[in-house]
Chain A
């Protein structure tokens, strides 16, 4: 410590030490007098707590004029915060003088200054700066806390009443500044200060121009926000030394009365200033003022002239822009506006620019409104739509604003009759756009004109086209909507001198239809039909006509949908009709207005509860019936749906319960028996003549059951006729089930064996209970295999040429109750055998698991069970065929034994 030096210095201590404080800049100026030294030790203490603030050796030269030394020190702490004690001594190397007398810079925390205070107050500093704030607590109060904005900050005690905090890297303030608040222990604000943290100005892009060739108007960008507001801290601008009081907020512009050629803009705030310069010649920076006093001296239907005036010297400028058209000319002050529309309101405004050394367009003038005069309307777009041979309607489209050229007052329609060389003229009001006509009365050509106050339009003529009802249609083809319209194309027609017409209307419409049309130029052979009136699900018919001065000829027709939808209703008149084991479904076509799309076909479903099983997909939309075949007895529901490209309709459903044909079957059997009787008589006669022996012919009717059994057994040595046989199968379960027998077509059998070649043989009759078919061959026509097997068996035996299978007993019926053994019927196609819905059949179980070669069906068991009282037969599987199989061989034996026993009266 230099204070500890005990050596007597030859240096004299500084004299007359004096302190001067600049509290705004927190600068302390220390001056003293000393004749010789140039190096001094300076020591600064906080007086009250004797804390060292600074102890520094500084080099200070003597001011020759005053003979004093002066040293400045900027305190980080505001000088008001607390008293500072300063002393100085001279130094020469290691030799130091005695300390000067201590000088005190009194702070504002002295007891006689009792109020609370905070420093520095109201300072403006740059963003990022560091600052120390101090709070002097009022005498008698307790310090509480210090807050910077809303943040509690840590304080540092400088004296008994003074507490300080240092904030570093301060961010920008809000417009009212950043508060630093000091509160007492009761959280009452006792002092505070505001600091404004911001940036110096930084403007850019100074550009000066003239509007009147005299004065100058400069503009610039404000640049970075200074975050400093209010009269004291805001940025002030000067242009070439003149204040710019109007340059505020975002309006950064300033004007001078005379063009100087060089401009300097100075932007200044409390934190600094910034300069911008610009320089230019007058002729290169001309942005004319807006023209004034716009007038329209001449206004016509299709053009108008506009004039204006200039202020002062600007009239010598070249080039102006009016509306969106540019006109050029020296001293331009009038232009003619062309391509205007008649009877139209216009608003025109003018701005100008210098043609030479163009800089910028000037300001727009005030707008001027005017209205062009009316002109006669254009000829209406007309068409003639025929409802029938004689009746039609003349149609014309309302004229648009740009076509009417004024308020339309009405229309005039002239009906020409060249043969009679006469005409009829009709005047119609402006709200009428069609006129019904009778062609036979009025001739073959129609002329329509429109009228407005300016005159009559050119005539629109059309030759009445011949009516072509749908029946005479040329081929009508489909056209698809492509998203924006219906694209139509056609082959060029020789007689289309005035082009083509395409008209269209809702096909379902029958009266007063809304007809639309477009006209196509003669050199076009395609068009896109577009209309805002197209609706989804509506079929439109498009007709193409070739138009000439002599005729209007229909060339082609299309129809199409903008968007196809599913039909809006189901097929009407859906009805089932039982035909034996088949059901024929018939229905009508959906009316056109309900189709809502092209009907592509129909789907037929078997309905079981909510489940639909597809039976058929009819892809011919003209076909409106379908036969579901081979149904077993029971109740069925069928659903028929029409479908379009958009999908199926909801579906129409019908129910049917299949009933047995009792009386019909009886009749069939009687006829069959009669036929057989005749046949037997013929055979008997034939056999007698050829010395054949016939053992037995038995006819017996089983009482009580209605069973008719026919057993015929004989031996023929001649070639057997496979067709000469009758199969009669009966069902013991059904008392009246004989009606269900069906006739099997002859050709079904022909395909089953070698016998098919014998087409000259007598036809055979075979009767089968079709229910029996369930358990047998499922893919072939009913009973073909059984009959073949029987016939084959008969032929192979060599003993029989005609086999009448089986008088069966009730024991022959083997109810197959094991449903588990019944394979589930595959329903993969509409022609497969169908099962009625579960629970709807009344307990009848088809013998679907029966097999001809099954153990249950062969051997003695069957033989034995077939003996006894013959009662009923339920299945053709229980017929007794002569088969080459082991099992089959026993059947004729058993049958003959049983037959023989029956004839001989044996049990």
Chain B
């Protein structure tokens, strides 16, 4: 089901579309990514027997703020693009660590995790197109335990937990920001 959805979205993204449609599609993609990330965290909690009211301590991993009132929509998208690159880097690192720790498993968690990675990559391409600049879409994160502050197996799990929360946060931010942008552009074209 998820694969089929990916194919459909890939097809949509490959199609030429006016700016307004591209914005709408990027917003839809971000919304789907947010759903996937939420589900991925649910699967992770289930796997790790972590109660939903048990939250990991620690600050945000990706500390960028979109809430500044001085930012234009394009600047917000630019910021969002950067945050998503970091998220993709974190996710790549997460996958690498989990495969080292547990081997290459083929459960539902791993399937959804791969889907999130692919969709996050698509969203990065979408925001790049929206920005109409030569933005980098590669993951922006050095997978380094010392940098990440990962100590021990449980520390790695908590880091994973925080990364998943980070993904949810930024997917949600992307969904909202792109939705606003889509509404603005739509209104502008109607005028």
Q: Which residues of A contact B (CB under 8 A)?
A: 118, 121-122, 147, 149-150, 174-177, 179, 181, 183, 187-194, 229-232, 234
B16 within 8 A of A: no
- Evaluate contact between A187 and B54: CB separation under 8 angstroms: yes
A147 to chain B, nearest CB (A): 8
- Evaluate contact between B102 and A230: CB separation under 8 angstroms: yes
B118 to chain A, nearest CB (A): 23
Mask of B37-81 contacts with A, CB within 8 angstroms, 1/0: 000000000011111011111000000000000000000000000
B51 to chain A, nearest CB (A): 7
B112 to chain A, nearest CB (A): 15
A171 to chain B, nearest CB (A): 13
- Evaluate contact between B57 and A179: CB separation under 8 angstroms: no
A194 touches which of B50, B100, B103, B157 (Cβ 8 Å): B157
Complex Cα–Cα for A147 and B52 (A): 13
List the A side residues contacting B180 at CB < 8 Å: none
Complex Cα–Cα for A192 and B157 (A): 9
B105 within 8 A of A: yes
List the A side residues contacting B152 at CB < 8 Å: 121-122, 193-194
List the A side residues contacting B32 at CB < 8 Å: none
List the B side residues contacting A149 at CB < 8 Å: 49
B97 to chain A, nearest CB (A): 10
Q: Which residues of B contact A (CB under 8 A)?
A: 47-51, 53-57, 98, 100-103, 105, 152-154, 157-158
- Evaluate contact between A150 and B103: CB separation under 8 angstroms: no
- Evaluate contact between B55 and A189: CB separation under 8 angstroms: yes
Residue of B47, B51, B98, B154 with highest tally of chain A CB at under 10 A: B154
- Evaluate contact between A230 and B103: CB separation under 8 angstroms: yes
Complex Cα–Cα for A121 and B157 (A): 12
- Evaluate contact between A192 and B103: CB separation under 8 angstroms: no
List the B side residues contacting A192 at CB < 8 Å: 154, 157-158
A592 to chain B, nearest CB (A): 60
A-B contact count (CB 8 A): 72
- Evaluate contact between B49 and A179: CB separation under 8 angstroms: yes
Complex Cα–Cα for A232 and B53 (A): 31
List the A side residues contacting B100 at CB < 8 Å: 230-231
List the A side residues contacting B47 at CB < 8 Å: 174, 176
A782 to chain B, nearest CB (A): 89
List the A side residues contacting B49 at CB < 8 Å: 147, 149-150, 179
B150 to chain A, nearest CB (A): 12
A231 nearest CB neighbor, chain B only: B100
- Evaluate contact between B103 and A188: CB separation under 8 angstroms: no
List the B side residues contacting A232 at CB < 8 Å: 101
- Evaluate contact between B54 and A188: CB separation under 8 angstroms: yes
Complex Cα–Cα for A837 and B145 (A): 104
Complex Cα–Cα for A179 and B155 (A): 11
- Evaluate contact between B102 and A150: CB separation under 8 angstroms: no
Contact flag A193-B154 (CB < 8 Å), given A183-B54, A188-B54: yes
Complex Cα–Cα for A188 and B49 (A): 15
A174 to chain B, nearest CB (A): 7
List the B side residues contacting A230 at CB < 8 Å: 100-103
Complex Cα–Cα for A121 and B102 (A): 16
B50 touches which of A179, A188, A193, A231 (Cβ 8 Å): A179
B89 to chain A, nearest CB (A): 22
- Evaluate contact between B57 and A189: CB separation under 8 angstroms: yes
Complex Cα–Cα for A519 and B83 (A): 85
List the B side residues contacting A175 at CB < 8 Å: 102-103, 105
- Evaluate contact between B54 and A189: CB separation under 8 angstroms: yes
Complex Cα–Cα for A181 and B101 (A): 19
Contact flag A179-B48 (CB < 8 Å), given A192-B158, A229-B102, A229-B103: yes
Residue of B57, B98, B158 with highest tally of chain A CB at under 10 A: B57
List the B side residues contacting A122 at CB < 8 Å: 152-154
